[in-house]
């Protein structure tokens, strides 16, 4: 039972350091939905522009979602901070998700609207050739 919970494809997602702690304390909350023809990722990125976000897929079908805001809010020299809960200043986050094998990496699309980054990863529904390969046995190498 425990093996099912922490098995592929959620293994990297659940144990990614980004799930527990972001470099600057910024957490990009993420939803992962699966339909019959795509995987859909919705990431909360309020305050980030599309130029401050990066989505890339590396070897092993690992999708990286990163954000780096370089904006610092200027309040003047005479201002005194009493409370700061909105994470003003430079912010960053990084999420890492291991995608399933049956996806079309060349057709991934991402859209940013009203602080919500939506990434659509289409599924490859074409039958895959068998990965079984018979090895011919000989008497001498």
Enter the tokens of residue 44: 């909360």
Place of tokens 């990163």: 66
- Per-residue pLDDT at 20: 37
105 or 91: which carries more pLDDT confidence? 105
Tell me if 86 sits within 8 A of 66, measured CB to CB.
Answer: no
Average pLDDT score over residue span 35-39: 95
Is it true that the peptide bond before 9 is cis, omega within 30 degrees of 0? yes
Asked if pLDDT for residue 105 goes beyond 90, the answer is: yes
- Per-residue pLDDT at 79: 80
128 or 29: which carries more pLDDT confidence? 29
Which residue, among 126, 73, 117, has the nearest Cα to 95 in the 3D structure? 117
Asked if pLDDT for residue 67 goes beyond 80, the answer is: yes
Domains of the chain, earliest start first? 6-122 (2.60.40.790)
Instruction: Read off the pLDDT band of 109 (50, 70, 90).
Output: very high
- Cα angle 116, 51, 31; round to 5: 25
- Per-residue pLDDT at 121: 96
What's the CA gap between 36 and 28, in Å, rounded? Answer: 26
Beta bridge partners of 102: none
Cα dihedral angle (96, 102, 104, 108), rounded to 10 degrees?
-30
Asked if pLDDT for residue 68 goes beyond 70, the answer is: yes
Mean pLDDT, the chain, integer: 79
What's the CA gap between 82 and 63, in Å, rounded? Answer: 39
Average pLDDT score over residue span 133-139: 83
Tell me if 112 sits within 8 A of 50, measured CB to CB.
Answer: yes
What phi and psi values does residue 56 have, to the nearest 5 degrees? -145, 155
């Amino acid at each position: 039972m425990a093996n099912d919970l922490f098995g592929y494809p959620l293994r990297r997602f659940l144990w990614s350091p980004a799930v527990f702690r972001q470099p600057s304390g910024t957490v990009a909350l993420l939803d992962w939905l699966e339909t019959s023809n795509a995987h859909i990722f919705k990431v909360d990125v309020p305050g980030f522009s599309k130029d401050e976000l990066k989505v890339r897929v590396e070897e092993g079908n690992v999708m990286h979602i990163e954000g780096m805001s370089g904006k610092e809010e200027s309040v003047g020299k005479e201002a005194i901070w009493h409370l700061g809960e909105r994470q003003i200043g430079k912010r960053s986050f990084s999420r890492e998700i291991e995608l399933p094998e049956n996806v079309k990496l060349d057709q991934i699309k991402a859209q940013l609207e009203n602080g919500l980054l939506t990434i659509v990863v289409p599924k490859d529904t074409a039958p895959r050739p068998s990965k079984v390969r018979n090895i011919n046995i000989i008497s001498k190498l």
